[in-house]
Amino acid sequence: MADSTTDSTIGLATTAEPFPTGSGAPRNDPRALEKALGLRVRQLRRQQDLSVADLSSAAGLSTGMLSKIENGQISPSLTSVHSLAQALNVPISALFALVEDRQDCSFVAANQGVKIERRGTKAGHIYQLLGHLLSGDLAIEPYLITLAADALPYTSFAHSGTELIYMLEGELGYRHGDRRYDLKPGDTLLFDSQAQHGPEDMGAGVIRYLSIIVYPRAGTAGG
């Protein structure tokens, strides 16, 4: 009976659809480069008050070809890209500015996080910002938070977005809404940060944890 169960389990695993990545995030748009290029061409054309006919004529392209390029429907040749750059009087690199913006990256060396003043700072909560991205639809704020020996409870944080806490050192009673969670090293808490939240009861010794806040870039995080 045990063998039959094992065979059945293996069969299910074999026929299961493999995950393309380790994340549930959708794959990149296969035409992302073409769409970014097209959007940039359209932006520059409009900034110079040129019609599609004006630019296509100056670049030696048909209006239909230029329309397809601006809509990201085709992959233009290097010759066409060069012609467009000349007609717009910009370097070729300027046509790929939007693509470069998406390659934002932040590196912070060990112990080099920028100390940030936030609402909990006066209560003995020390924040170090571990990175900062300038572009993208979402703003991400990763903090290393250390609670000083004389840190006070502070459960009045409330801001837009989602927050993840990962405990590194010490033990902590953390309040989220009407519930309390007792956290120890290795524990993770993921929550809607619009509800009031924050450290409620600190254990002895050093308490340190990661806090990562994510929210739409148009919004603000205030806790």
Q: Which residues of 91-130 are buried (b: 16+ CB within 10 A; e: fewer)?
A: eeeebeebeeeeeeeeeeeeeebeeeebebeebbbbbbbb
Instruction: At 36, list the tokens.
Output: 């970014």
Judge if pTM exceeds 0.75. Answer: no
CA distances from 201 to 147, 164, 170, 178, 190 (A): 11, 18, 11, 15, 18
pLDDT of residue 12: 40
Please check whether residue 209 is in contact with residue 145, taking contact to mean a CB–CB distance below 8 angstroms.
Answer: yes
pLDDT, tens digit only, all 223 positions of the chain? 444 444 433 344 444 445 455 556 666 666 778 888 888 899 899 989 999 999 999 999 999 999 999 998 998 888 899 999 999 998 888 887 765 555 567 777 887 777 776 665 667 788 888 987 766 678 889 999 999 888 888 898 899 899 999 999 999 999 999 999 999 999 999 999 999 999 999 988 889 999 999 998 764 444 4
* Sequential DSSP letters for 149-204: TT------B--SSEEEEEEEES-EEEEETTEEEEE-TT-EEEEETTS-EEEEEE-S
Q: Which of 3, 64, 74 has its CA nearest to residue 33?
A: 74
Is 209 in contact with 194 (CB distance < 8 Å)?
A: no
By C-alpha distance, which of 39, 65, 40 is closest to 52? 65
pLDDT, residue 26, reads: 62
Residue 178 has a pLDDT of 94
In angstroms, the CA 63 to CA 57 distance is 8
